[in-house]
Structure formats: C-alpha cells, structure tokens
Amino acid sequence: MSPSETVPGLRSAVELGLTEPEYALIVEKLGREPNEVELAMFSLLWSEHCSYKHSKKLLGTLPTEGEHVVMGPGENAGP
C-alpha cells in the first residue's frame, strides 16, 4: 500500500454508517483492511438509501395488496 493510501479503520467505518460486524465482513472478504475509497464505496452501497438495511423489517409490516396499494413489492416499485 502506498503512503497516500491510508487505512481508515473501524472508527471511520462506523462514522460512515457501517456496523462493526459489517466492517469485519469487509476485512474478511478483502483479506485486509479497506482503504479510504473502498470503505466509502461499501458505505454507499450498503447505505439505507441503496439497501434499506434498517427499514426492511418495517417495510415488511406494510400491506402489499389491496384497494389503496398502487404497486406492491417487486421490480420497478419505486416512485
């Protein structure tokens, strides 16, 4: 790793919205700690906006069929 590539560590991962287990999984899969760019990419890809990791359980409580449901879950169900 070049001097310009720093290893941000767990604290930076948490600040970016990742959990400790998620950071551990990243390190395990890469076989090393991620650099700043990689960590930022994981944070973006695993964010609430992209993956709904926190709201998925709540979304499951909403109706998926019925008179007031315009489109249920599935492809192209977004606004």
Q: Where are the alpha helices (DSSP H) in 31-79?
A: 36-45, 48-51, 56-59
- Higher pLDDT, residue 34 or 5: 34
Amino acid at 32: R
Q: What is the structure's pLDDT at 39?
A: 92
Q: What is the structure's pLDDT at 8?
A: 84
Q: What is the mean pLDDT of residues 36-58?
A: 80
Q: Is 65 left (phi over 0), alpha (psi -120 to 50) or beta?
A: beta
Distance CA 16, CA 14 (A): 5
Q: What is the structure's pLDDT at 4?
A: 46
- Mean of pLDDT over the chain: 81
Tell me the pLDDT tens digit for each residue of 1-17: 454 456 788 999 889 88
